[in-house]
Structure 1
Amino acid sequence: MLINNLQMFGFEALWSPYYFLTICLVTVLYFFIVGRWRGNFIGAVAVERKTKAYFVISMVLLYICKGGPVDLLGHFMFSAHMTQMAIVYLVIPPLFILGIPPWLARSVIYVRGVKPVFKFFTKPLIALLLFNGLFSLYHIPLLFDVIKTDMTLHGIVSVVLFIAAFCMWWPLVNQLEEEQTLSSLKKLGYIFADGVLLTPACALIIFANHSLYATYTDSSAWVQALSLCVPPSMIASLGQLAPEMFNTLPPVEDQQLGGVIMKIIQEIVYGTVLGFIFFQWARKEREKDTYMPDFTEPQDIKPKEFPSTPPLN
């Protein structure tokens, strides 16, 4: 039923060809840079397959979430919107960072003018507060409805949030030796703090006993928000539309489900990263113990005797 309702908006609304072309161009450019053009970069070495795979996966997920059916569905169901937010800001950025080889990252972030700004916004405390603060502000009902109904503002906010998410993930997963500002123990604390800071926004959504967002309940606001991904002429040709036509759940339950989905995906992602960092830390500690030299003091070693020097006449 839902799939049939979505198909009435046409292939272009479901699978944006413009977004697809953009993602393809970025991916092709990436492979040229890490392949044929690699020699133009200082310290460039061959890129591992898993690094390329991380980048490709991040691009595929980005297209599905922002150029595919998930984006359209996110205008009908708040739970789909929160799924989109969780993947775009919690899953894609770490994959994207892991997909950038260190020599390419240095060529970008150490450019004069970029380096001081990048260094400031990727400081752990600033990055942590920036992303979680912006994410929470975005979901304040008044701001949310304004952003969702203005194409320019929505585009700007989406880019800013993605950059903030990139900065938040950078101290945790970047592969540059000189950028390892957090020890393994501090990384564990960083993830814990990140989870705590994101909780209030999810709790507001989960425990609200009424619908918070007009763009999912008010027909006029909903149509205005829908026009961001569906041409207004097509919306007009479809006649009278209402959000209830595309959602099998009551608005409040859909809203609560969205908060739960966001929290579950967050816990899965953070738990995975937490486990990876913990086992990486444990392995390093074992290696230290294995290769630690034995400083046991030797026993029964007599001092070396030197021949006496004849007296001077």
Structure 2
Amino acid sequence: MTGPHLFIGLCLWACASTAAAHSALDPATGGTAALRWSFEPLVIAAMLLSLGLYVAGFARLRQRTRLGRVHRLYSAAAFVAGWLALGVAFVSPLDGLGAWLFSAHMVQHEILMLVAAPLLVLGRPLGVWLWALPAAARTRIGRGVQARSVRGAWRWLTLPATAWGLHLVALWGWHIPRAFEAALVHPALHAVQHTSFLVSALLFWWTVLAPRAGHAGRGFAMLSLFTTMAHTGALGALLTLAPAPWYASYFESASAFGLDALEDQQLGGLVMWVPGGLAYLIAALAVAASWMASRNTATPGRDALPNP
């Protein structure tokens, strides 16, 4: 399945899954209201539809061919894990808790960008989703994404510098206090925030996990990971070491959990700074190990005997 297929499908799913993923809670109801599960109809429908299509497509592929069965199983496991991560972010009590605690909100964002997004890229679900559709629909969709404008946009979006820059703008832009506060107040804007986090993360992880051929592609992937680790760590450090809280919306709600707003912000900054940075570091080391393994495979040792 080509890159444009994956990008369009995952973006549509991301928009549907996040369109109603957050609803503001009334602080007057008490802190225990934040611990409820969220069952937004649009989110549940998008989640169930995506899983149903995947099961149907996977079953049809298993019937048609046995080639690549092990690879498909690995992809299916990655998709299911990413799907469950989205459920934790949007359906579990973590979603409601994010309206009360900045730190919980940061955990939700990190799950979207560092857990769900890379797993969905590894899962490559759109190819399986397409096999759940009739043959005529598959043909029409395939012709649509082969259009020159679509392929040109895809090539530009998946340039390492483009994906890296879009991810940086989404991260830093939405953490500007005025933008963050506006997203907390307006559910539609909050859906845009979540969608931009997830879509930019999907693009970023696509350039990292499916880099362009050759050593230059892996080199750009490592550079993207290390520089992203640096700038997200800097944002986390600013949040952690700030002398005063940035977001007034959490002044009262954090106290329901025994925290003041500054302590809550410091905890959220540490979530972005330490576990988030560690995730990027592990990914960079994995890319480096894959790069070295490919070099060793392609270049025989000096003492190796010539092939007769």
Matched, 1:126 2:162: yes
Q: More helix per residue: 1 or 2?
A: 2
Secondary structure of the residue aligned to 2:194 is helix
Secondary structure of the residue aligned to 2:99 is coil
What is the match of residue 72 of structure 1? 96
Give the counterpart letter for 2:161 in structure 1: L
What is the match of residue 124 of structure 2? 100
Judged with a 3 Å threshold, the aligned counterparts in structure 2 of structure 1 residues 15 and 105 are, in CA distance, closer, same or farther, namely closer
Judged with a 3 Å threshold, the aligned counterparts in structure 2 of structure 1 residues 56 and 197 are, in CA distance, closer, same or farther, namely same
Judged with a 3 Å threshold, the aligned counterparts in structure 2 of structure 1 residues 50 and 204 are, in CA distance, closer, same or farther, namely same
Indicate the RMSD between aligned Cα atoms, in angstroms. 3.3
Matched, 1:243 2:247: no
Contact 2:57–2:129 under 8 Å retained in 1: no
**CA deviation profile, 1:143-186 (whole Å, cap 9, x unmatched):** 11011111111112221221111111111112x8x667943333
Unaligned runs of 5+ in 2: 1-29, 131-140
Structure 1: how far apart are the matches of 2:280 and 2:254?
A: 34
Matched, 1:191 2:231: no
Structure 2: how far apart are the matches of 1:245 and 1:6?
A: 9
Cα deviation for residue 278 of structure 1 reads 1.7
Alignment of 1:163-312 (within 5 A): 163-174=199-210, 182-217=216-251, 242-290=252-300
Matched, 1:14 2:49: no
Secondary structure of the residue aligned to 2:60 is coil
Match of 2:190 among 140, 154, 157: 154
Give the counterpart letter for 2:227 in structure 1: A
Structure 1: how far apart are the matches of 2:146 and 2:181?
A: 38
Give the counterpart letter for 2:219 in structure 1: L
Pick which of 281-290 and 97-106 moved more.
97-106
Judged with a 3 Å threshold, the aligned counterparts in structure 2 of structure 1 residues 291 and 51 are, in CA distance, closer, same or farther, namely farther
**CA deviation profile, 1:105-128 (whole Å, cap 9, x unmatched):** 997794324322221111101111
Judged with a 3 Å threshold, the aligned counterparts in structure 2 of structure 1 residues 285 and 180 are, in CA distance, closer, same or farther, namely closer
Judged with a 3 Å threshold, the aligned counterparts in structure 2 of structure 1 residues 279 and 9 are, in CA distance, closer, same or farther, namely closer
What is the match of residue 48 of structure 1? 72
Which one has a bigger Cα radius of gyration? 1
Judged with a 3 Å threshold, the aligned counterparts in structure 2 of structure 1 residues 67 and 187 are, in CA distance, closer, same or farther, namely same
How many residues end up aligned between the 2 structures? 263
TM-score by length of 1: 0.73
Give the counterpart letter for 1:159 in structure 2: T
TM-score by length of 2: 0.74
What is the match of residue 178 of structure 2? 142
Cα deviation for residue 75 of structure 1 reads 1.1
Give the counterpart letter for 1:267 in structure 2: G
Unaligned runs of 5+ in 1: 218-241, 297-313
